[in-house]
Structure 1
Amino acid sequence: MTKSDEGLPAQLAVAGNVRAALAEAGTTRKEVARRLQMSEGAFNSRCKGTRAFDVAQLQRVALVLDVPFSRLVTWEEK
């Protein structure tokens, strides 16, 4: 694993958690991106795990989706 790949499993896990929370909330990526004042493309790339969310973004996602922040950043190591 290269230095640039070290955070990738966590990044993908967080992205999956955000997608699951979106599905449960019954809202769209487009709507959440709008509420976060983020472009739809930028939000989509984070939801796919190709770009990482930063902490402030995840805090805002948790507020918008009404889920605990910890739910978005918890995963099992493999």
Structure 2
Amino acid sequence: MALTVRVLKGHNELAFRLLKRKLADVGLTKELRRRLTYEKPSEKRRRIEHEEERRQARRALQHNLRFILSRMARGF
């Protein structure tokens, strides 16, 4: 994966801020911070379980929202 940012007319600080924002949006800064320190196996297991719970909750919310919107579109 390649991220690029154009530097326009010597605006280095602006380009750096844009690059940092792009990296944060992709999740690279969080991943890098996580990999720089040792993570105990129990903490890793807990983190993975928590991430999976968040993913499942987000999927359930999207499913419920789709269901409600489809019912509203049909006039219920």
Scaled by the length of structure 1, the TM-score of the pair is 0.29
TM-score (ref. length: structure 2) = 0.30
Which structure features the higher share of helix residues? Answer: 2
RCO comparison, higher one (Cα < 8 Å, 6+):
1
